[in-house]
């Protein structure tokens, strides 16, 4: 098995040309023909300069930033560039109404002004192939038994290859739906400090209106630095720590871009599912995505109403709102693209071909019949699962209250020790502090009222918590009236001890299950979560186990059926280091419409609206741009400042902050978004319309230098002209 799958990745057939720029390739297993194609398109670096575990290489400049983004090292002193939205939480946490860095921007003039954060970064040390070890342990197993055993085996490998004392962490990633396993070994650094950020009006210019859209004029960047102990090892924050001396850092290019220029993107794409079945596509377009979009729309509406009224509320909710909004629009666009290009029909054709081949092969001939039954069994409950995650827990109060079920369990469990109960109480108190800091009661109360009614009307009534809605009707009024749910939500918020310090302190001083169960917020959370966990959660687990097993067998069969196609396959993204390559490129999204490959300050000024929530800009920026004070960052051909550009590179979530690199290994921009016309990319790559939206590094440096006055940061970079 190991030999088969190394061959899959290492040897890409000559039909590679037909794949356009699709593919998130593992740098460890970058085949010669893939590398040759990269060179043909403009790469000037050797394979060893790209990836080498024994010597410094480009991969050493690419980091996991925070919990779900990519960053890159850009100086010999551990300076990090990433997206503004990746640093958003840290920037918001460092801000106050007196020092509002989120609103006004911030650049440290020297290292003593850099602001400590709770962020960490991870550097990839090496990748080990552990396929044989895992596969040998799974022989003869299938279904839930295989899933359980696989989890135990991967945990054992992770533990064996990790070293807590050295901050070394290992995570085995299943690839090709569990047909190959690679161990990714990382070293984590926890002293990460904020160095600079543009004002939010620059970093989020265009807001939700421009999200996932081109043309784009967003300065989506932020600057951090990683520190180490004096001997270069990972260390907790200390004044005595020193800037990291990295193995590799990226030089920065000020050279102008041309349509067709080579581009590669390194980073950590979070997740794709391009080998999904037609059944999965159908479930996404018919149930999962529309339900998620509808529920997030409600949450965003009520949050935005309060954010517009008060700058303090805007600061309080900004990070949460941004996260919800980002994938609200994504899943809406994904559904439309999947339907527009009939991805379901394309999958069905491929599966019909597979079924014809599978006849007479016991391992595969009944695969799709069994798979269909699994989906039919789960489909009636799929909407309920989305409602729990996006609706019930869409209320921050109810999401927090649900965490108190752990405390309840400790209180009612026979034989629970005082130490167990005390530990659960302390955990509840600590998480309550964080909840209250971020809670906006007005928007949350409206969300609770709205989603409770939506659950009643949209989820099969046989799946409702027993007696819940009858009690609500008897106490508050008709179930088809908004006023009923508003009264109910007002009672929950008005009577919950979670908001009442005196009642909360009395409860935690003498914790009692009866008191907790009588709390209306806890009762709401418990009713919905207990109902789901006891009846439908097990069905979800059974379905996911079967779906994973059928997906693994299908992909295994596809590779056996068509060895030529197998040689062109790359593994789905799994938040592991990947490289994609393509070109800076314009496109035509529809009839009579042409999109240039760059945007400029001219377009930025055209979009600018003074005082607008999404399209305002700092007065100084308007002044500088109107004067055409572009300095060394001006594009000589356009006589303007380039703001953003697009490439054909294949990326997905997790690539936020990824470096866009030219053929010489120089940084030309930061990837931060995809285009609306190709939002099906998690499930299906569009070779004609897919574009990655990037902020041009020249605009990043202009913002730091000309707008922000951070000349000290510019001097630290290796700039190529």
Contact 78, 246 (CB under 8 A): yes
Q: Are strands 115-116 and 659-661 parallel, antiparallel or unpaired?
A: unpaired
Cα distances (angstroms) measured from residue 544 to each of 356, 530, 531: 26, 20, 19
Which one is catalytic: 60, 208, 220, 686? 220
Q: Is 342 a catalytic residue?
A: no
Q: Are strands 252-253 and 719-720 parallel, antiparallel or unpaired?
A: parallel
Contact 60, 266 (CB under 8 A): no
Contact 559, 178 (CB under 8 A): no
In the three-class reduction of DSSP (H, G, I as helix; E, B as strand; rest coil), residue 464 is classed as coil
CB atoms within 10 A of CB 471: 13
In the three-class reduction of DSSP (H, G, I as helix; E, B as strand; rest coil), residue 582 is classed as strand
Which helix or strand (DSSP H or E) is residue 660 part of?
strand 659-661
Total length of the chain: 721
Cis previous bond, 308, omega within 30: no
In the three-class reduction of DSSP (H, G, I as helix; E, B as strand; rest coil), residue 552 is classed as helix
3-state helix, strand, coil in the chain (%, to 5): 50, 15, 35
Positive or negative CA dihedral for 577, 583, 586, 590?
A: negative
Which one is catalytic: 656, 658, 673, 680? 656
Nearest one of 53, 338, 303, 85 to 198, comparing CA atoms: 85
Token pair, residue 291, equals: 């339900």
Reduced 3-state DSSP string for 238-302? CCCCEECCCCCCCCEECCCCCCCCEEEEEECCCCCCCCCCHHHHHHHHHHHHHHHHHHHHHHHHH
In the three-class reduction of DSSP (H, G, I as helix; E, B as strand; rest coil), residue 680 is classed as coil
Q: How far apart are CA 648 and CA 675, in angstroms?
A: 11
Q: How far apart are CA 491 and CA 503, in angstroms?
A: 16
Cα distances (angstroms) measured from residue 304 to each of 100, 317, 320: 20, 9, 11
Q: Is 656 a catalytic residue?
A: yes
Buried b vs exposed e over 184-210: b needs ≥16 C-beta within 10 Å?
bbbbebbbbbbbbbbbbbbbbbbbbeb
**Secondary structure letter of residue 393 according to DSSP:** G
Which one is catalytic: 85, 384, 524, 681? 85
Beta bridge partners of 300: none
Q: Is 220 a catalytic residue?
A: yes
Nearest one of 251, 227, 231, 222 to 88, comparing CA atoms: 222
Angle at 164 between CA 162 and CA 168, to 5 degrees: 50
Burial of 477 (0-12, 13-18, 19+ CB in 10 A): middle
Token pair, residue 102, equals: 């989120």
**Secondary structure letter of residue 114 according to DSSP:** P
Which helix or strand (DSSP H or E) is residue 243 part of?
strand 242-243
Q: How far apart are CA 677 and CA 334, in angstroms?
A: 9
Give catalytic residue positions. Answer: 85, 220, 656
């Amino acid at each position: 098995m190991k030999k088969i799958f190394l061959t899959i990745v290492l040897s890409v057939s000559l039909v590679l040309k037909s794949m356009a720029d699709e593919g998130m390739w593992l740098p460890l297993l970058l085949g010669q023909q893939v590398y040759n194609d990269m060179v043909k398109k403009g790469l000037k670096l050797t394979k060893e300069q790209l990836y080498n575990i024994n010597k410094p290489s480009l991969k050493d400049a690419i980091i996991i930033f925070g919990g779900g983004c990519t960053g890159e090292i850009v100086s010999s002193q551990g300076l990090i560039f990433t997206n503004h939205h990746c640093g958003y939480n840290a920037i918001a946490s460092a801000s106050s109404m007196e020092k509002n860095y989120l609103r006004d921007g911030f650049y440290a003039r020297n290292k003593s002004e850099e602001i400590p954060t709770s962020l960490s970064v991870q550097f990839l040390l090496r990748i080990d192939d552990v396929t044989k070890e895992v596969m040998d342990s799974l022989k003869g197993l299938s279904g839930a038994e295989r899933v359980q055993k696989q989890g135990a085996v991967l945990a054992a490998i992770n533990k064996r290859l990790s070293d807590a004392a050295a901050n070394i962490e290992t995570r085995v990633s299943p690839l090709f739906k569990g047909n190959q396993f690679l161990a990714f070994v990382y070293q984590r650094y926890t002293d990460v400090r904020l160095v600079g950020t543009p004002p939010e009006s620059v970093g989020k210019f265009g807001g939700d209106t421009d999200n996932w859209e081109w043309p784009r004029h967003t300065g989506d960047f932020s600057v951090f630095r990683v520190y180490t102990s004096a001997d270069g090892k990972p260390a907790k924050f200390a004044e005595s720590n020193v800037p990291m001396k990295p193995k590799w850092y990226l030089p920065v290019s000020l050279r102008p871009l041309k349509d067709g220029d080579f581009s590669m993107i390194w980073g950590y794409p979070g997740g794709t599912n391009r080998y999904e079945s037609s059944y999965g596509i159908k479930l996404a377009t018919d149930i999962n995505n529309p339900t998620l979009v509808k529920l997030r729309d409600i949450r965003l509406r009520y949050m935005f109403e309060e954010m517009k009224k008060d700058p303090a509320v805007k600061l309080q909710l900004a990070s949460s709102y941004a996260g919800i909004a980002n994938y609200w629009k994504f899943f809406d666009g994904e559904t439309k693209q999947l339907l527009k290009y009939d991805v379901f029909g394309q999958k069905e054709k491929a599966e019909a071909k597979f079924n014809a081949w599978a006849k007479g092969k016991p391992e595969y001939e009944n695969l799709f019949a069994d798979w269909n039954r699994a989906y039919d069994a789960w489909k009636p409950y799929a909407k309920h699962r989305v409602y729990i995650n996006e609706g019930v827990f869409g209320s921050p109060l109810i999401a927090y209250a649900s965490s108190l079920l752990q405390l309840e369990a400790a209180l009612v469990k026979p034989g629970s020790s005082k130490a167990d109960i005390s530990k659960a109480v302390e955990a509840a108190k600590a998480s309550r502090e964080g909840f209250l800091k971020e809670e906006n009661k007005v928007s949350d109360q409206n969300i609770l009222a709205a989603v409770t009614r939506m659950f009643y009307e949209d989820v099969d009534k046989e799946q409702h918590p027993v007696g819940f809605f009858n009690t609500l009707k008897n106490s508050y009024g008709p179930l088809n009236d908004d006023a009923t749910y508003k009264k109910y939500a007002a009672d929950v918020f008005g009577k919950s001890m979670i908001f009442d310090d005196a009642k909360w302190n009395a409860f935690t001083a003498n914790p009692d299950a009866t008191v907790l169960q009588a709390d209306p917020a806890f009762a709401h959370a418990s009713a919905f979560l207990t109902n789901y966990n006891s009846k439908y959660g097990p069905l979800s687990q059974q379905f996911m186990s079967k779906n994973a097993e059928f997906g693994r067998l299908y992909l295994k069969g596809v590779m056996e059926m068509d060895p030529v196609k197998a040689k062109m396959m790359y593994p789905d993204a799994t938040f592991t280091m990947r490289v994609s390559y393509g070109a800076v490129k314009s496109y035509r999204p529809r009839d009579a419409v042409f999109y240039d490959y760059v945007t400029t300050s001219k377009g930025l000024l055209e979009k600018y609206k003074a005082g607008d929530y999404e399209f305002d800009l700092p007065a100084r920026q308007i002044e500088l741009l109107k004067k055409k004070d572009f300095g060394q960052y001006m594009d000589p051909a356009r006589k303007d400042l380039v703001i953003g550009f697009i490439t054909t590179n294949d990326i997905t979530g997790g690539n936020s902050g990824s470096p866009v690199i030219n053929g010489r290994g120089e940084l030309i921009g930061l990837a931060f978004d995809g285009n609306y016309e190709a939002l099906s990319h998690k499930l299906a790559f569009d070779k004609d319309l897919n574009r990655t939206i990037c902020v041009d590094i020249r605009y990043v440096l202009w913002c730091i230098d000309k707008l922000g006055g951070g000349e000290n940061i510019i001097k630290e970079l290796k700039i190529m002209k």
